[in-house]
Amino acid sequence: MAWRDHLRTITEHNIRTLRHAPLSELSGALGDLGTLLPLMIAMTLNNTIDLPTTLVFSGLTNILTGVVYGIPLPVQPMKAIASVVISQAFTISETMAAGLTMGVAVFVLSATGLLGWLNRVVPVPVVKGIQVGAGFALVMNAGSSLILPLNWASPGWDSRIWAIGAFLALATAALMPRVPYALVVFSMGILIAGIVLATSPHHGDFHAGIWRPSVYVPGGHAWWTGAIDAALPQLPLTTLNSILAVTSLSASLFPTFPPTPSTTSIGFSVAIANLVGCWFGAMPVCHGSGGLAGQYRFGARSGFSVIILGTIKLLLGLFVGDAIVPLLQQFPKSLLGVMVLAAGVELAKVGQSVSESQDLWQRAEDDYGNERSTDDLKKDQEQEERNNWTVMLVTVAGCLAFKNDAIGFIAGLIWHWSLQLPRLTERLRGGRSIRLQDEQEPELGNDLWERNR
């Protein structure tokens, strides 16, 4: 009964918001396309996901989250997995193994309540280092695989001149945040691809069809590659940025209504979406705080915005199906390269806040019982900022040098804890001196009592 009341309240909120500001809800539905479109297209063209299946299951996830939560909760690609999949040319089975591994891991973390513990164990600079490394990997892949192979002026529909034009448009759009750059460039690319496909001798291959799902069962090697190379570095990103950060941001953006979703609920949503869709070739997905902020910025204030987006994706996946694939194969690599570059830069931008990433529990533990001067505290803060930057850069270096985010993750952890050794040693010495002082004080009191007697 409680669930029925909750769903009825959320539905009334969604409908009321849509009636009050329909254009804002429609605009807000496009707020996260800049992340979704380039990664989904790139993974499709690399044959690492099944596009119709991705549209069907991500659309269903959009609709369900909009109905249940009543906020514009995005359905994004798992960026670290997408980066590894694109840069290392995964097979579809390896990609599905990565998504299924993430689904199992997040389900266990949600069911056991370990999300908060994992937030404390994984240092924030390491997480940001993985994000920055993934962003740089996307940028490098956009340049080396998509833009550099192009000629300067031929063919006319796809050249470096088009890439320069798209980049100048991207720089201009940065001054006008409400302009849906990804949608405009994507629409232009689809128009060009349609013209090229219509004039090619194989234009008759373009035809719509009903979605026919296929089941993908990864083999042993695919499980190992997907879990170690892609899922392992994605795990802290998903738990921190796609679950904990989403809960915190939704509480800030919607302080009164609708109710803030719990971390456990968001975790189960991510887990179930991947445990169901990845068996059929769907792209590994999660919820992202950046996408929530983007959709809110473009006007979304309820779950109806993502319901609209999900319905469009579902219809395309069900009834257009594989007809989109030959169209996307003609998509100009110049435009796609700039879109992927923009997504990589946006992902790497999170590194600029690494100096503010000290955990609250650690700060409280350090300050407890310490009466220190302002200069000492300032020096410690500056040193910690330098340490955070170093840990993040070591993580990035490991990711890029070995083209393996797992190595970067381990390198960052080792470097972080090595920098913490002096502090831990000082803390142990301080605790030992306090115990010695406590042991000596009773002896001193006994001696004075003996003398006075």
Q: Is residue 209 part of a domain?
A: yes
Q: Is residue 381 part of a domain?
A: no
* Domain containing residue 183: 1-347
Q: Is residue 88 part of a domain?
A: yes
Q: How many domains does the chain have?
A: 1
Q: Is residue 402 part of a domain?
A: no
The pLDDT of residue 203 is 57
For each successive 10 residues of the chain (453 residues), what is the average pLDDT? 83 91 82 80 89 95 95 90 87 95 94 75 79 81 86 82 90 76 81 84 62 90 91 81 79 85 91 96 89 80 93 92 77 85 75 60 45 66 84 90 80 89 72 56 51 50
The pLDDT of residue 143 is 87
Three state DSSP letters for the chain: CHHHHHHHHHHHHHHHHHHHCHHHHHHHCCCCHHHHHHHHHHHHHCCCCCHHHHHHHHHHHHHHHHHHHCCCCCCEECHHHHHHHHHHCCCHHHHHHHHHHHHHHHHHHHHHCCHHHHHHHCCHHHHHHHHHHHHHHHHHHHHHHHHCCCCCCCCCCCCHHHHHHHHHHHHHHCCCCCCCHHHHHHHHHHHHHHHHHHHCCCHHHCCCCCCCCCCCCCCHHHHHHHHHHHHHHHHHHHHHHHHHHHHHHHHHHCCCCCCCCCHHHHHHHHHHHHHHHHHHCCCCEECCHHHHHHHHHCCCCCCHHHHHHHHHHHHHHHHHHHHHHHHHHCCCHHHHHHHHHHHHHHHHHHHHHHHHCCCHHHHHHHHCCCCCCHHHHHHHHHHHHHHHHHHHHHHHHHHHHHCCHHHHHHHHHHHHHHHHHHHHHHHHHHHHHHHHHHHHHHHHHHHHHHHHC
Q: Is residue 356 part of a domain?
A: no
Q: Is residue 365 part of a domain?
A: no
The pLDDT of residue 242 is 80
The pLDDT of residue 138 is 77
Answer whether 0.95 is exceeded by the pTM: no
